[in-house]
Structure 1
């Protein structure tokens, strides 16, 4: 069986260790896995493409050419649009952070608030705005981009990322910010394994089932009273925090899942 893992050129360098791990685990179960970068084209006989980029149009083009994508292009489209993520959660009845699109600073009607680009990731295009002046700065910085507004919700800079493989919970990681309202591990936050309640497991399985996703991360703000609110869906999702807090190979689980799925299709 032949497959590809697709990355942008920049991300292929940053994620070289994970790519090598994927290739090693693939070889153990007789999958020939190759790296595909930028505009390189896969061979027509490839069984699948593990798509590791935030580029719904590129994903869709591979599907239109007959390739089996992990995740589907539709998953990539929804996960990389925070407004579509919010709409999906609302439709499914999953508790979520109230979210609305805003086109000007005059539509921001309460402070403090959180402003985000609709397609940003990694916490780099997010701002806690305490005043209209802060909001104006954000709008100026991201002029021409689609923006969303969320009320600031006190969570102690704590959230939970749940890693899903199909409809199975691979693991969950509690992330706490370090001197910032952002909890991202890559921005210096602390992490620990987090046990999900029955209700929380139901929420994430509901989302994964609706998306028909293969491998995603689902982020929830963790509230002081123990409840949670969906904040984002990540595709592609980075596994650094999962490797740090759990004692299994994500690459191994992913490759075994792929082989089983393709064998049964």
Structure 2
């Protein structure tokens, strides 16, 4: 049995440990893994693997293989919605609370700081808190033509919680904080520690997973007036925060889940 793990070139260097862990674990189950780079891949000429681990954030890649009845981790649906914040909010409207989206006019007339963020950004990139016209223009220029949204700013800045999910089940929640920025991303220097989810937070996660089943992902929550509200889904979620702050071998757990799934 053989599977592909698919990456973009720009994400390859920082994911070497992830690739190593998942390959070594699947090899223990006599499953081979081949690394495939999207920029070098011609789908029409690609052989059919037994499964695909799509870490490219490209839903078209997932759907190509799904069209051949090949199991893909995560599904094309998850990859599409998770990597488009506008679609995420539209899909989860009425299911879980999140900070309201605004029109440009509503944002400018609110008289309060607001958020501009790209729809397809990840890792805290292309997220800006805006307080005046100049900052708005600078933020929009940073979008570099990508679709973006205006959003009401939460009250509790520099704090969020990421919930790691494997096989549609909660594995571990991590709280991230920053005293330097309104963004608390670990990759941007935020601090992290294990977090115990409250009952209402677990309920929100389960509501999301009920409509968007996930193989391996992170669900992020920010805080407004002390209460968690949904922020985004990380499809190709990283693992460094887990390894540096817990004893959980999360990539091994994911690989073991894959081994079970592909042998059903």
TM-score normalised by length of structure 2: 0.91
Contact 1:105 1:135 in 2 (8 A): no
Any runs of at least 4 consecutive aligned residues in structure 1 with deviations exceeding 6 A, and if so which?
none
SS at match of 1:201: helix
Q: Distance in 1 between matches of 2:17 and 2:144?
A: 36
Match of 2:172 in 1: 171
Report the count of equivalent residues: 259
- What whole-Å deviation, never above 9, does each CA across 1:191-238 have from its counterpart, x for those lacking one? 00001122211211221221122111000003453x201011111111
Match of 2:75 in 1: 72
Structure 2 gaps of 5+ residues are: none
- Taking the TM superposition and a 5 Å limit, the aligned residue runs for 1:37-76 are 37-38=37-38, 39-40=40-41, 42-44=46-48, 46-76=49-79
Contact 1:178 1:190 in 2 (8 A): no
Q: Distance in 2 between matches of 1:144 and 1:7?
A: 23
- What whole-Å deviation, never above 9, does each CA across 1:220-264 have from its counterpart, x for those lacking one? 003453x20101111111111112222121121111111222233
Q: Distance in 1 between matches of 2:121 and 2:248?
A: 29
Q: Distance in 2 between matches of 1:240 and 1:77?
A: 24
Match of 2:11 in 1: 11
Contact 2:239 2:251 in 1 (8 A): no
TM-score normalised by length of structure 1: 0.91
Are positions 1:109 and 2:113 aligned together? no
- What whole-Å deviation, never above 9, does each CA across 1:28-78 have from its counterpart, x for those lacking one? 22221121112336532x221010012222322232243211000110000
- Cα distance change of structure 1 residues 133 and 218 upon mapping to structure 2, 3 Å threshold: same
Q: Distance in 1 between matches of 2:35 and 2:179?
A: 35
Contact 1:105 1:136 in 2 (8 A): no
Contact 1:3 1:34 in 2 (8 A): yes
Partner of residue 97 from structure 2, selected from 80, 95, 98: 95
Larger mean CA deviation between 185-194 and 13-22 belongs to 13-22
Match of 1:151 in 2: 152
CA offset at residue 122 of structure 1?
1.3
SS at match of 1:256: helix
- What whole-Å deviation, never above 9, does each CA across 1:58-101 have from its counterpart, x for those lacking one? 32223224321100011000001111111222242x1212124x
